[in-house]
């Protein structure tokens, strides 16, 4: 969401002639000494920590309108939950530029971490030993099941069943193999993750020679699916029961 909000602001600023480009990567690089330096991107570098993006023309005080994604509380039937909405905001050009610089500073750390993680992931996949396997996993969107011939009530009603698809790519020193598991259960929690992963792990172990002993698991999912203490417990248990000696 933060990246999309910065993108919306940069596009509006470029449209108003205040920025030469709307590319977030180029704007981040232009505001720091070195985009590959952690101190610069964490905004603690003594030379560039106060740098801001250079504008192409003087700021005017005309009223401008821009869009931002925000979280707002929504109440339905005495229950309150947070919802994401695209909100229209307004202010002067200088206020919009101030908001942009503040959000760009906050995004710099995330951008550096993302690039560093992608670089390390690629380095790991390119240097795998014969006894190592990397599995990169993620849930796809739920799929609606459709019949070749449907009655009208089924087609337009709420009777259509859904299915969960969990995608996985296994990397080894020999190459890459893709997997997809499908289930009628719509659960996406940590136990569902391992229900989908177990047949993949079994296939990898049964069809690799030499037999893998080290498993690396990569994901970029939300805390409800992958990044939580229950999943870390299962990660430290299930692969070892399957025969792996090391897990990361």
- For the chain, what are the domain ranges? 2-122, 128-247
Which pair of structure tokens corresponds to residue 203? 């296939």
13 Cβ contact partners less than 8 Å away, ≥ 6 residues apart: 19, 22, 55, 96, 97, 100
> Class for domain 128-247, per CATH?
alpha beta
Q: Do 92 and 63 contact (CB within 8 A), yes or no?
A: yes
pTM (2 decimals)? 0.75
pLDDT of residue 58: 61
Residue-averaged pLDDT of the chain = 87
Q: Quick one: angle between helices 93-126 and 2-15, nearest 10?
A: 130
Average pLDDT over residues 117-144: 90
- 31 by Cβ neighbours in 10 Å (0-12 / 13-18 / 19+) ranks as buried
User: Is residue 178 predicted with pLDDT exceeding 90?
Assistant: yes
């Amino acid at each position: 969401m933060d990246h999309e909000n910065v993108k919306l602001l940069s596009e509006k600023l470029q449209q108003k002639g205040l920025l030469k480009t709307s590319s977030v990567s180029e704007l981040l690089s232009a505001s720091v000494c070195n985009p590959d330096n952690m101190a610069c991107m964490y905004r603690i570098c003594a030379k560039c920590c106060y740098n801001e993006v250079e504008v192409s023309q003087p700021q005017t005080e005309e009223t401008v309108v821009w869009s931002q994604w925000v979280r707002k509380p929504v109440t339905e039937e005495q229950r309150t939950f947070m919802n994401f909405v695209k909100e229209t905001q307004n202010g002067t050009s200088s206020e919009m530029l101030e908001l942009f610089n503040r959000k760009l500073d906050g995004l710099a750390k995330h951008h550096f971490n993302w690039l560093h993680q992608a670089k390390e992931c690629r380095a790991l996949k390119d240097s795998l030993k014969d006894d190592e396997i990397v599995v990169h996993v993620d849930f796809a969107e739920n799929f609606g099941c459709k019949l070749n011939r449907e009655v009208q009530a089924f087609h337009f009603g709420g009777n259509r069943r859904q299915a969960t698809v969990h995608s996985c790519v296994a990397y080894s020193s020999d190459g890459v193999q893709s997997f997809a598991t499908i289930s009628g259960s719509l659960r996406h929690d940590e136990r569902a993750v391992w229900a989908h992963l177990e047949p993949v792990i079994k296939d990898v172990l049964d069809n690799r020679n030499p037999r893998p002993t080290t498993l690396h698991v990569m994901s970029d999912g939300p805390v409800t699916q992958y990044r939580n203490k229950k999943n870390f417990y299962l990660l430290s248990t299930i692969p070892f029961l399957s025969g792996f000696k090391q897990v990361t």
